[in-house]
């Protein structure tokens, strides 16, 4: 119970730190939201009055205190550009982002774990060498360069999948593949190394001496290696969320990523802050869940 309280306190502190950092960083960026909203033809008087109306004429520390007090009540504020409640805007964009992130994590875990096990089984053979080379090549391509390549091959040349639609499962194929390729490559390499490390452990010899089947030994091996794989997923989760948001922008998917991009373009402070806060909360919750699952799988791991 004491550890749980510590983890919750740590999560709360991390969220507060993220809120504070993004509040000040976005206001240091060049560009004025009022000038963006009113346009270049607005007079200085109109700009001043509108800034006063939005409370942007106040000192930064007063703006921060006001925002933090509203946030403590669950109020993320209203969009400066869209004139809508930020929570409702984020709520409407959550499903595409969660769909991409969850599908990519689920497929990557299964694919990476299986291919990593095969690579360990065929150590130093053709399959092992080829799989490691391909995974290293996949990791060398960032998402913003991998996505256009996949679009060009599978959407433009082969015309197998659509590029910029959303609503059916086929619309998620290219964005999910874009996220699965790098994540599954990392899991493959970690799983392979962990399998090789544990397969030569004394407890494997004991299980075989007791007459356990090869498949039973393999299942035990997967269970022992699973915490390491889940830890990789936890570490890469922020990259997956960021990658999902980048993919949404590239594939024109109406998710949190495209909303964040719009907010940055328009200097819409409440939207940018709201998306970052929700992303941080999601990350902390999933990290908390993975730690709990690890403690269930391996009792030696304290939760």
Contact present, 234 and 290 (Cβ < 8 Å): yes
Rounded-to-integer distance, Cα 287 and Cα 172, Å: 25
pLDDT in tens, 153-168: 888 888 888 777 777 7
Nearest 10 degrees: Cα torsion 43, 46, 48, 49: 170
pLDDT in tens, 106-146: 898 889 888 888 888 888 888 888 988 888 888 887 777 88
- 272 C-beta neighbours (distance < 10 Å), count: 23
**Which pLDDT score, from 0 to 100, does residue 303 have?**
57
pLDDT in tens, 276-293: 888 888 888 877 787 777
Share of the chain above pLDDT 90, in %: 2
27, 43, 31, 74: which is closest to 272 by C-alpha?
Answer: 27
216, 278, 198, 263: which is closest to 18 by C-alpha?
Answer: 278
* Contact residues for 185 (Cβ-Cβ < 8 A; gap 6+): 112, 134, 135, 136, 138, 139
**Which pLDDT score, from 0 to 100, does residue 302 have?**
63
Q: Torsions phi, psi of 78, nearest 5?
A: -115, 150
Task: Kindly give the interhelix angle for 173-199 and 86-121, rounded to the nearest 10 degrees.
Answer: 40
pLDDT in tens, 185-235: 998 988 888 888 887 778 888 887 888 887 787 778 777 888 888 888 877
More confident residue, 197 or 298: 197
pLDDT in tens, 64-89: 999 888 888 888 888 888 888 998 99
pTM: 0.81
Q: Per-residue pLDDT for 25 more than 80?
A: yes
256, 290, 287, 286: which is closest to 273 by C-alpha?
Answer: 256
Domains of the chain: 94-266 (1.10.3720.10)
């Amino acid at each position: 119970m004491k550890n749980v309280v510590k983890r919750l306190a740590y999560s709360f502190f991390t969220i507060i730190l993220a809120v504070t950092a993004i509040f000040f960083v976005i206001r240091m960026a060049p560009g004025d939201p009022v000038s963006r909203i009113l346009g270049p033809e607005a007079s200085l008087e109109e700009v001043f009055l509108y800034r006063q109306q939005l409370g942007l004429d106040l000192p930064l520390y007063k703006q921060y205190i006001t925002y933090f007090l509203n946030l403590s009540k669950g109020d993320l504020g209203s969009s400066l550009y869209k004139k809508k409640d930020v929570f409702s805007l984020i709520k409407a964009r959550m499903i595409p982002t969660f769909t991409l992130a969850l599908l990519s994590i689920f497929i990557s875990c299964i694919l990476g774990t299986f291919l990593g096990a095969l690579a360990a089984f065929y150590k130093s053979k053709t399959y092992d060498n080829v799989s490691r080379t391909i995974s290293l090549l996949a990791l060398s391509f960032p998402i913003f360069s991998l996505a256009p390549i996949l679009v060009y091959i599978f959407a433009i040349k082969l015309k197998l999948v659509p590029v910029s639609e959303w609503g059916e499962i086929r619309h998620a194929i290219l964005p999910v593949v874009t996220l699965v390729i790098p994540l599954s490559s990392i899991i493959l390499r970690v799983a392979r190394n962990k399998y090789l490390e544990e397969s030569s452990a004394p407890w494997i010899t004991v299980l075989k001496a007791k007459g356990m089947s090869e498949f039973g030994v393999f299942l035990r091996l997967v269970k022992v290696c699973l915490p390491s794989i889940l830890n990789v997923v936890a570490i890469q989760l922020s990259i997956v969320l960021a990658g999902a948001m980048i993919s949404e922008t590239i594939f024109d998917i109406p998710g949190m990523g495209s909303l964040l991009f719009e907010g940055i373009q328009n200097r819409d402070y409440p939207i940018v802050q709201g998306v970052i806060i929700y992303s941080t909360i999601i990350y902390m919750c999933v990290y908390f869940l993975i730690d709990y699952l690890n403690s269930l799988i391996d009792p030696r791991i304290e939760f």
